[in-house]
Amino acid sequence: MLPQDVTHKPGQSAIFLVYALNRPDETAPIKAILAELPALTRSLRGRFPGQEVSCVAGIGATAWDCLFPGWKKPKELSPFVEIRGEKHVAPSTPGDLFFHIRASKMGLAYEVSGLIAETLGDSVYAIDEVQGFRYLDGRAIIGFVDGTENPELLEDALKFAAIGDEEPDFRGGSYAFVQKYLHDMSAWRALSTEEQEKAVGRRKYDDRELPEGVKPENAHNAVTNITGPDGEELKIVRANMAFANASKGEHGTYFIGYASTFATTRKMLENMFIGDPPGNTDRLLDFSVAHTGTLFFVPSQELLAALAEGD
C-alpha cells in the first residue's frame, strides 16, 4: 500500500484546510474530490515540473462514520481529547476533513485549494485555513530551525509515519494531528539568546543540540524525546510551517505530525502539557499557545481510491 505524501519535506509554501460537514448525507462532492486529488496533483506536477506540488487528504472520526458507514474504522481514529495540565492546555477542536497542500510557489498551492473548495461546494463549511511559508533557512518564527528531529532516511520516515503490519487493513495510512500555535513574540524576544536556547534545547545559530548538563529537563527537545518499551526512540514526521499576519501582531507555527500510531504523538503532547514527571512542562509553552487540536486519518493511496469509489 502506497502512503500519501506524508513523508515529503515541509516545502516552500503550504495551505492547511480544515472543513466540517455541512450536510452529512451529501457525500458525493466529498468522494469526488477524494477521487480527483491524485490525478489533479499529478497533472500539476507534470505541467510545473520541479514545483513539488502535493496534497494530503485526511478524514476525522465523526466524518468517517458518516461517509463510510460500511467500513471498518482505524483503531486510533477518535475525536482528540484535550490535554489539560496545571499551566497549559492542548485544546480539542472540531474537524471532519483536512487537506495539507504543498508547493514551491503559493500560487500553485492556491490552485489546488481553489479546486478543492469548488468541488466541495456547500457540502462543507470552512473551520480554518492557514497559509504557511518557509521562513529563512527552515526556521520557526521564533528563530530556531524546525523539524530537526525528523527521520533523515525515507525508510525510517516511512517506518514512523506510515502504518505497517500492526493494522493490516490500513497499511500505508497515517495518523495526522494538527495544532495552530500563536507565539508571544514580545515576551520571547525579551529573553536572552542563551535563555531561548535553553527553552528549545539547541543553539540558535547553528542548530547544534545543547550538551547534557547544559540542556534543562524542560527544554522542548527534552520533553518530546520519548522511547518505547525496548528503549528505541519513537519519532513522528513533522511538516511544520511558519505563518504570520504582521499587521495584526500574529506570529505562529502550524504543527502537523504524521505518525503510524497516534499514541506516540499523544505521549509527546502529554509530556509537553502535563509533564513527565507532572509539572516538568515544555518551556516553549510559556510563549506559545495552542489554539486548535484535531486528529485525522490519512488513508493510503489505494484505500483513498476505494473509499472514494465506495468499493
Of 5, 96, 128, 146, the active-site residue reads 146
Residue 96 annotated among the catalytic residues of the structure: no
The whole-angstrom separation of Cα 72 and Cα 61 is 12
* 306 CA to centre of own chain: 24
CA triplet 166, 168, 171: central angle to 5 degrees? 90
If we measure between CA atoms, which residue out of 6, 76, 60, 55 comes closest to residue 258?
Answer: 6
Q: Please, is 101 exposed, middle or buried when counting C-beta atoms within 10 Å of its C-beta (0-12, 13-18, 19+)?
A: buried
Mark residue 135 as left, alpha or beta (left: phi above 0; alpha: psi -120 to 50; beta: remaining): beta
The whole-angstrom separation of Cα 42 and Cα 234 is 33
> Residue 20: what are its φ and ψ, rounded to 5°?
-120, 150
* SS3 of residue 304 by DSSP: helix
The whole-angstrom separation of Cα 15 and Cα 243 is 10
Indicate the length of the chain as a whole number. Answer: 311
Q: Which residues are catalytic?
A: 146
